[in-house]
Amino acid sequence: MGKTLTEKILDAHLVEGELEPGEEIGIEIDQVLTQDTTGTLVWLQFEALGLDEVQSELAAQYCDHQTYQFDFKNTDDHRFLRSAAGTYGAYFSRPGNGICHNVHRENFAAPGKTLLGSDSHTPTPGGIGQFAIGSGGLDVAVAMGGGAYYIEMPEVVEVRLEGELPGWATAKDIILGMLRRLSVKGGVGRVFEYTGPGVETLSAPERMTITNMGTELGATTSLFPTDERTQEYLERVGRGDEFVPLGPDEDADYHDSVTLDLSELEPLIAEPSMPDNVVPVREAAGTEVDQVIIGSCTNGAYEDVLPAAKMLEDRTIDLSTEMIVAPGSKKASEMLAREGWTAELMAAGVNFSESTCGACIGIGHVPGSDSVSVRTFNRNFEGRSGIEEDNVYLCSPEVAAATALTGEITDPRDLDADIEAPGYELPDRYEGAESDIITPDSPIDDGLIKGPNIGDVPLKEPLETQLEGPTLLKMGDNITTDHIIPATQDILMYRSNIPKLSEFTLSRVDDTFADRALASNGGFLLAGENYGQGSSREHAALCPMFLGVEGVLAQSFARIHRANLFNFGLLPLEIDPETYERIDQGDHVEIVDDVAEAVRSGREAFTVRINNDWETTGHLDASARERDILAAGGKLSYVKQQHEGGSAAPADD
């Protein structure tokens, strides 16, 4: 039986385990990326591990999330990151140079290589055949130190693309169509491999819109084969020599297969407040819109802004609607400016932002109260835009531009006949100043520069024998990391100061949580399905740990967050729906038996006693390595122990 492309790349990087779905495998990581809001912990952990030089082929540090530097703490973080990149040997992309995924794909992403990034949209270059995965920062620190990355071997699912996109349908509609079909849980434990005749109809950047937003399906990653379209892209970014032909065997054995006929697609839109709340645009048409934004790592590239610019050329946007364009990279900004498109957009009434994540996480351009915002982003989780009861819709740049023209959600097919579908066009060459990437050998920094807000990473004691405490909070399904540790400006500046950041833990669900958790000296979180979906931010595990939370009982966990819980020594137990229903907030939870011993010995079923009254079972689905990490009180302690035990490379190696 032939191999999938996933199996081929993983096979070439395998250092431990077998490529059997569900089995834990260790893979070698060629490239790592990190960004400003997760990167500070990455480097603090790299330092705490006693490592002194980047060991992976390439490491890149981006400053993209909080580039407005509203507070000196953000600026200090950026200076610290530059000093860390300089000290340890990573590339440094200066604040404002663009979103990590956009800058990485332009400069470093390479087919056939593995990439690990402390950002959940790291899978973006899957569109050019790179096996790219998002993870918590500690896993990135270890991989950067030369250690393997461990994951459960995912099921590989074929997504067969037939036909060709009609007129106004775009790559964004392909991934929105997938979300409509499969939901935000549809990709958990899976890799989506795109195949079929429809693949060659899509350019590399279009493919990267799809792989970027595969994260919203919960997928481990998404992957396209490479072909002339990949080569064309690599040549235009000036790295044609990095092209490698890659694809699955003809008789590859997929776990499952989904077929999507591109010719049947139409413009789609995700309604508030979940990326899978997708309907055809025509069903939402007519809704009045206050704000339109084109940008983000999904649809902020040069090729994404261009169609909107063409649609708005010599026209003006609706007077009651504001429109902002935030190009994904400074190079895209520069190219749009040099070609005159920035001026066209400005003349149409559009405002430009620097290249940043910004509005995607509620930093700038926060929607007004009781207003509607239409964005080309990938996430519209409630409150993520910076206002609690927001109404954020997600769509393609074409739908966004049509909407800005009319002031209401508009299917571009209903625009005046003189506005034609602009199509999708790559520049002949991606050209711009190169001065915003500082190379590892640059003599700028040697030695870490820490401002007063940059603290240490707290460590947890080894797992105790007795675990008991109250159910501190009962939550529903699909709780996101934006609920656990929001990313808005007021909070984001504390990403390097865990004691302070912890005060905001779960504040969007219950603002008394942090105080109650600290006062209770231990306790548990209770949640429904897909707990911790969304971002890779390890703060969502680290802060509850700092507040004394000992474990999470949930019906299921999102992949990256589950790994982060192990990494910070929190016990993740799966419970069934009846148990979830029966336990109330405040109920006393006791894990019966010697927990540390049971974890170490491989026990899967744990007896959980509630209120000293009734018992149920919680399941721990964990590899031997994950159990050791948990028992040690988290991965930092575990790796240090191993390191002290004589291993030269970081422990996981």
Cα dist. 222→188, 225, 252, 366 in Å? 12, 10, 16, 31
**Segment 402-461, which members bind ligand SF4 (CB under 6 A)?**
none
∠ CA 242-535-284, nearest 5°, is 100
Based on the shown chain and the rule CB under 6 A, indicate whether residue 330 belongs to the binding site for ligand MIC.
Answer: no
Stretch that binds ligand SF4, among 355-363, 558-566, 592-600, 618-626 (CB under 6 A): 355-363
Based on the shown chain and the rule CB under 6 A, indicate whether residue 119 belongs to the binding site for ligand SF4.
Answer: yes
**Segment 357-386, which members bind ligand SF4 (CB under 6 A)?**
357, 360-361, 378-379
**Segment 236-275, which members bind ligand SF4 (CB under 6 A)?**
none
Based on the shown chain and the rule CB under 6 A, indicate whether residue 383 belongs to the binding site for ligand MIC.
Answer: no
Q: Which of 120, 211, 298, 353 binds ligand MIC (CB under 6 A)?
A: 120
Calpha distance 492→64 (Å, rounded):
13
CB neighbours of 46 closer than 8 A, spacing ≥ 6? 84, 88, 141, 144, 145
| Partner whose footprint covers residue 107, from ligand SF4, ligand MIC, none (CB < 5 to 8 Å by kind) | none
In angstroms, what is the minimal distance from the CB of 266 to ligand SF4? 25
Based on the shown chain and the rule CB under 6 A, indicate whether residue 5 belongs to the binding site for ligand MIC.
Answer: no
Based on the shown chain and the rule CB under 6 A, indicate whether residue 394 belongs to the binding site for ligand SF4.
Answer: no
What pairs with residue 526 in β-bridges?
A: 474, 553
Calpha distance 479→562 (Å, rounded):
13
Q: What is residue 365's three-state secondary structure?
A: coil
CB 432 within 8 A of CB 334: yes
**Segment 57-86, which members bind ligand SF4 (CB under 6 A)?**
65
Cα dist. 451→53, 76, 316 in Å? 22, 5, 46
Cα dist. 561→31, 134, 263, 360, 499 in Å? 21, 11, 37, 20, 20
Based on the shown chain and the rule CB under 6 A, indicate whether residue 299 belongs to the binding site for ligand MIC.
Answer: no
Q: What is the strand order of the sheet 149-152 is part of?
A: 14-16, 24-27, 149-152
CB neighbours of 511 closer than 8 A, spacing ≥ 6? none
In angstroms, what is the minimal distance from the CB of 328 to ligand SF4? 8
Based on the shown chain and the rule CB under 6 A, indicate whether residue 626 belongs to the binding site for ligand SF4.
Answer: no
Q: Which of 38, 135, 291, 373 binds ligand MIC (CB under 6 A)?
A: 38
Cα dist. 591→523, 546, 629 in Å? 11, 20, 19
Based on the shown chain and the rule CB under 6 A, indicate whether residue 135 belongs to the binding site for ligand MIC.
Answer: no
Using the CB atoms, write b or e for 273-299: b if 16+ within 10 Å.
bbbbbbebbbebbeeebbbbbbbbbbb
Based on the shown chain and the rule CB under 6 A, indicate whether residue 291 belongs to the binding site for ligand MIC.
Answer: no
In angstroms, what is the minimal distance from the CB of 492 to ligand SF4? 10
Among 428, 194, 437, which residue's Cα sits nearest to residue 303? 428
In angstroms, what is the minimal distance from the CB of 296 to ligand SF4? 4
Calpha distance 152→647 (Å, rounded):
24
In angstroms, what is the minimal distance from the CB of 349 to ligand MIC? 28
Calpha distance 509→165 (Å, rounded):
41
Task: List the x/- string, 60-99, binding to ligand MIC by CB under 6 A.
Answer: -----x----------------------------------
Task: List the x/- string, 478-517, binding to ligand MIC by CB under 6 A.
Answer: ---------x------------------------------
**Segment 83-112, which members bind ligand SF4 (CB under 6 A)?**
99
In angstroms, what is the minimal distance from the CB of 113 to ligand SF4? 20
Instruction: List interacting residues with ligand SF4 (CB under 6 A).
Output: 65, 99, 119, 121, 296-297, 357, 360-361, 378-379
Residues lying near ligand MIC in the complex (CB under 6 A) are found at 37-38, 65, 119-121, 361, 487, 534-537
